[in-house]
Amino acid sequence: MENLTKHPILEIPDRKKIEFKFDGKLLYGFEGMVISSALFLNKIKIFGHHIKDRSPQGLFCANGQCSQCNVIADGVPVKACMTPLREGMKIESCNGLPELPLEDDPVKVDDINIVNTDVLVIGGGPAGLSATKVLGEHNINVILVDDKSTLGGKLVLQTHKFFGSQEEVYAGTRGIEIGKILGEIVTNLETVKIWVNSIVLAIFSDGLIGIIKNMDEYALVKPNYLLVATGAREKMLIFPGNTLPGVYGAGAFQTLVNRDLIKAAENVFIIGGGNVGLITGYHAIQAGINVVGLVEGLPQCGGYKVHEDKLKRLGVPIYTNHTVISANGEDKLESITIGRITDRGNIEPSTEQTFACDTLLIAVGLDPVDEFYHKAQQFNMKVWIAGDAQEIAEASAAIFTGKIEALKILKEIGVQITENLEELEDFANLMKKKPPEPVQTEVIEKKEGIFPMFHCNQEIPCNPCTSVCPQDLIKTVDDLITQLPYFTDDQDCVGCGKCVSVCPGLAITLVDYRKDEESPVVTFPLELSSEKIEVGRKVIVVSNEGELGEFEVIRARFLKEFPKTQLVSVKLPAGIAKVAVGIKLIKSFYNEPMDFYQLSHTEDDIIVCRCERVSVGEIRKWIRYGVHDFNELKALTKAGMGACGGKTCTSLINRIFREEGIEHEKIIPGTKRPLFIEVPMGVFAGIKSEKGGK
C-alpha cells in the first residue's frame, strides 16, 4: 500500500509527514489522517486479536459504527478509524481485552453546559447540509452536529458526478464539490453553529441531547425541533471468512482511497452490483487499483446501467447469478471463491472459481441509522428524519429530502413557505425510485454534421445534459427528468462538448462528420488520467460489448467548467463511430482463476456477531429451539452485547430468522442501548479530554 501521488479527479495536497510507533516499530503517516489509514499506509491490516478465539481483527466500516478497529493509542483503547494520528503516538495492537490505564488521580468534575437552540440537525452529510441551508436562510437558529472533522458526510468520498437535476441537486457536479459548496454555504449562515468532531451520545427522556463536542467537552442541547440526518451504515454478509482482515465495506474503501488518499489495495473483488459496488469499482480503477471482478446474486446488477457499463468497458468481469462461497486466507484475505447460484439458491456444481485478491469489498446494501429518530419519537419530541436515515437512496435524493424536511420544520415554526410540499414529495419519490429495466433505443440515422450520441438506455432521474446545451438542443421525452435524452436537431450543434463533459454516466459522445463522412471524429469523456493525453497516442476504443480497436488521438482538451473530465477525440471508421462509447488507456487485465481452493466450512465457523464472535450455527440452533426474542438470544449467546451494540449483527440475525421461516411480526426486538456509542463514564461528569477519555 502506498500514498496516492496522482489521481484523475482528486487533488493530492502536500501533506506533513508525522512519525508514530506501532507495536514498537517506527512508522510514518500524514497529518490529518486517522490511525487506521496510517496503519493501512504501512501495509498493516491486522489491528489486534479477539479475546475469544484469537482471530485477527481489522477494519470493517471505517465509520465508527462496528467497533472492530480497536487499538491502544498512548495507553488508551480507541477506535482506529475515528482517532486522528498524532506526532509521536505510541500505538499498540489490541490483543484480547484492552486494559484501562491505572489512574487514581483526583479529577475535576464540571457542570454540564445546557445549550438551547431552535433546531438541532444531527448529521452534516447531504441531507443535513441541505436542511441546514434552508433553515439558516430563514434565520432559524440551528446547531449542526457531525462526528467527522469535515462537513459533507459521504459526499467527501464521491468523486463521480451526480445524477438528478442541476437545478435541484447540483446534478453533473461531483459529490466532493457539492459537499464543499453546501459546507461553505452553511458555514457562512449567521444563525447556524457548526459542531464538527462532535458525537451525539444519547437522547434523553427530558428532551435533552447529550453530545461530546469537539471530542472533548460534554454538552447537553435542548432543541425545539430535531432533524435526524444520520445517513446509513453498511450491511455485513454471512459467509466463511467474512471477518478476515481485508474483507470490509465499500464505503470504508472509499474512505481510505478518496478521503485519506491511500492506495489501499492491489487487487479488489466486490460483492454487490448496486450503485455502491459499481461506483466503488470505478473509484478503485481511478486510484490505479485492479478490480478482479464483481459478483451479484441476482440475474442483473441493481445499480444504474451506466455505472455497470463503465466497469464492463474497462474489462471488469461481472458475475451475475453468482455469490461468494468463501473468503480465504490464514490471518488475512488471500483469495475469494465464488460460484453460480441455481434457481433453488444452491451453488451449481463445478461453477466454483477462486481468484487471488487482497481486498474483498462488501457492497450489499445499507441500513438506515435511525436510532435517534425512534428514540426522539418515543420521548414525544418534535422530530423529522431525512436522507438515508429516512430511506436508502442516492445522495442526490438525500439533498432533496433534507430540503423537504427543513421546509416542514419551517411550517411547524410558523414561517410562510411558498414551496408546494406535495409536489416536492412527488419529485423526491421519483429520485428514490429503483432503476427500471433498460429499454431498447434506436441508433440515429443521421450521417452529417455534428451531434451528440446518447448511450444511456435506462430511464433514471437525470438531466444535466439538457441544462448545459448552449443551443438548447437536448431534451428529454416530454421534458420529464426520468425520460431518456434526445437531440432535437432544430439547429446546428456547435460541438462545444459540454453535454459530453457533464454526463455523470460518461454515456454521451459527440460524432462529427463535417470533415470526413467516412471517418468521423468521435469525442469521448475520460476520467482515468490526470494528464492530458498526447495527440498521436493510441488508445483503445470500446463499445458496451467490447474492444473495437486501437486508434490515434487527434485532440484532447478540458473544458473550463469541467476541469476533471477530459474530452478525447479520435477518428474512427464510420461503421463503428456510433457504437463507440469510451476509450481506455491500457488493455484489460484478466485475472485467471487460481486452482480451486475451498476449505470445508460449517455454519459454526461463520461469524454473525463480530464483536462477540457468535456463529451462524449458534444463532440458528437457538432459533430452532424456539427463541424468537432478541434479548433472549443476547442472554444465551452474547450476540449484540459487544462494543457496537448490535449495529452490525441485528440485520443478519433477522435474516437467519427469515431463513428459518419466522415472520417478522413474531420476532421480539432487543432493547436498544441508551448510548449510541461506547463512552467513558467520566464524560457525563464533565471530565474533559484525557481524564474523560480514560
For binding to ligand FES (CB under 6 A), which residues are involved? 59-62, 64-69, 79, 81
Judged by beta carbon, residue 65 or residue 335, the one nearer ligand FES is 65
* Angle formed by the axes of helices 616-624 and 650-659, nearest 10°: 50
Q: How far is the CB of 36 from ligand FES (least distance, A)?
A: 6
Q: The C-alpha cell of 652 is what?
A: 443478519
CA–CA separation, 344 and 436 (whole Å): 25
Question: Do the beta carbons of residue 402 and residue 416 sit within 8 Å?
Answer: no
Question: b/e per residue, 198-212, with b = 16+ CB within 10 A?
Answer: bbbbbbeeebbbbbb
The β-bridge partners of 223 are 117
Our CB check for ligand FES shows the closer of 86 and 688 to be 86
In the complex, least distance from residue 249 CB atom to ligand FES, rounded to whole angstroms: 8
Residue with smaller CB distance to ligand FES, 197 or 300: 197
Contact assessment for residue 406 and residue 413, using Cβ atoms and an 8 Å cutoff:
no
Residue 217 identity: E
Shortest CB 555 distance to ligand FES, Å:
46
Q: Smaller CB distance to ligand FES: residue 365 or 438?
A: 365
Minimum CB distance to ligand FES, residue 287 (Å) = 20
Nearer to ligand FES, 39 or 572 (CB): 39
Closest distance to ligand FES from the beta carbon of 58 (Å): 8
**Cα–Cα dist 126/182, whole Å:** 8
**Residue 575 host element (H or E):** helix 574-577
Give 81 or 508: the residue with its C-beta nearer to ligand FES. Answer: 81
The least distance separating ligand FES from the CB of residue 422, rounded to whole angstroms, comes to 40
| Rounded CA separation 692/523 (Å) | 59
Residue corresponding to grid cell 509527514: 17
Residue in 580, 551, 554 with CA at minimum distance from that of residue 567: 554
Report the alpha-carbon distance of residue 633 to residue 608 in Å, rounded: 13
The set of cell numbers assigned to 412 is 411547524
> Across the chain, how many H-helices and E-strands are there?
17, 37
- Please give the Cα distance from 337 to 607 (Å, whole number): 17
Closest residue by Cα to residue 551 from 508, 595, 519: 519
Residues in a beta bridge with 512: 450, 521
Closest approach of ligand FES to the CB of residue 64, in Å: 5
d(CA 281, CA 318): 11
Query: For residues 222 and 143, what is the distance between their CA atoms, to the nearest angstrom?
Result: 10
Q: H or E stretch including 454?
A: strand 450-454
Q: Under a CB-based contact definition with an 8 Å cutoff, are residues 123 and 132 in contact?
A: no
Q: Which residue, 370, 388, 372, is CA-closest to 130?
A: 388
Q: Which is nearer to ligand FES, 198 or 523 (CB)?
A: 198
Shortest distance, CB of residue 69 to ligand FES, whole angstroms? 3
Query: In terms of DSSP bridges, do strands 113-122 and 217-228 run parallel, antiparallel, or are they unpaired?
Result: parallel
Q: Nearest approach, Cβ of 80 to ligand FES (angstroms)?
A: 6
Q: Which residue in 395, 156, 362 sits closest to 273, CA to CA?
A: 362
The identity of residue 249, as a single letter, is G
Cα separation of 404 and 432, whole Å? 14
Residue with smaller CB distance to ligand FES, 69 or 548: 69
Nearer to ligand FES, 35 or 493 (CB): 35
* 368, 390 Cβ separation under 8 angstroms: yes
Please name the residue that has the C-alpha cell 417478522.
664
Identity of the residue, 80 or 270, whose beta carbon is nearer to ligand FES in the bound complex: 80
Shorter beta-carbon distance to ligand FES: residue 61 or 268 = 61
183/646 with CB nearer ligand FES: 646
Contact, 363 vs 277, CB < 8 A?
yes
Of 68 and 615, the one with the shorter C-beta distance to ligand FES is 68
Residue number with CB closer to ligand FES (252 or 568): 252
The torsion angles phi and psi of 453, rounded to 5 degrees, stand at: -110, 130
What is the nearest approach in angstroms of ligand FES to the Cβ of residue 81? 3
Query: Could you give the CA distance from residue 541 to residue 245 in angstroms, rounded to a whole number?
Result: 38
Residue of 106, 73, 108 lying closest to 90 (CA atoms): 73
Contact 30, 16 (CB under 8 A): yes
CA distance 501 to 470: 13
Least CB distance to ligand FES at residue 573 (A): 51
For ligand FES, the closer of residues 68 and 335 by Cβ is: 68
Smallest gap from residue 42 Cβ to ligand FES (A): 17
Work out the burial of residue 626: count CB atoms within 10 Å of its CB; fewer than 13 is exposed, 13-18 middle, 19 or more buried: exposed
> Least distance from C-beta 488 to ligand FES, angstroms?
50
- Which residue, 85 or 409, is less far from ligand FES as judged by CB? 85
